[in-house]
Amino acid sequence: MSNLLMSTPYTPPSDPIEIIHEDHEVVVVNKPTGLLSVPGRGPDLADCLITRLQTIFPQVLLVHRLDRDTSGVMIFAVTPHAQKHLSRQFELRKTSKTYVARVAGRVTESHGTVDLPLIVDWPNRPKQKVCHETGKPAQTDWRVQKASDSESRLRLCPHTGRSHQLRVHMQALGHPILGDPFYADGDARDAHKRMMLHSQELRIQHPESLKGLRFRSKVPF
């Protein structure tokens, strides 16, 4: 295990999981911050969102992930058909995802796009880094919702789903996400009880009816 993982002790929240939507094909939940999406390595990292959900929905299947410290909308499949259909939507970028983040400093432009390829920073895994030679394409649209001299509130819309994409892209923009244990430092990291990144909205096509659905979760910060 990397020093980075060991330096951030795992103390998952004990609150019940909020169910946003459930039917015979999908389950949509509001993931709390501080809870892994799937088990990590070792018994101390076994508690996670999918294992908690399996006590309620034994057939639940993984479709996508959110970082441990990210909260918000997350969808799971209940059947293999739904898992395959939803996974394909994510792969083909047919889903639409909207996040809200509080970042360090005033972002002076009103909106923009970060287009920087990403790859794992192997000596410091699970951190990721920008690499124009070996990185995989990654694009994030951003728009300022509110800004002060000390911080800005942004709406983030990723077009790709790379690991830590929003976190690295905001750092590369010069405005790391507040409370981020990996990509922020000083007060930007330490003066906040959680990472200020929330999955506010997810739009998908229902795997059976093919109807477009929108799921939202209130931003907790």
- pLDDT of 7 reads 54
Question: Is 67 part of the annotated catalytic residue set?
Answer: yes
- pLDDT of 93 reads 94
Take residue 208 and report the two structure tokens written for it: 């059976």
- pLDDT of 1 reads 40
Report the C-alpha gap between 2 and 7 in whole angstroms.
9
All residues at 6 or more sequence positions from 119 whose CB lies less than 8 Å from its CB, including other chains: 128, 129, 131, 134, 135, 136
- pLDDT of 9 reads 86
Half-sphere exposure of 32 (CA within 13 A, CB side): 15
- Which of 44, 47, 67, 180 does the annotation list as catalytic? 67
31: β partners: 72
- pLDDT of 198 reads 98
The pTM score is 0.94
Report the C-alpha gap between 94 and 61 in whole angstroms.
19
CATH architecture of 3-214: 2-Layer Sandwich (3.30)
Q: Running along the chain, 221 residues long, what does each successive block of 10 average in pLDDT? A: 57 96 98 96 94 97 97 98 98 97 98 98 95 98 98 98 97 98 97 97 97 98 97
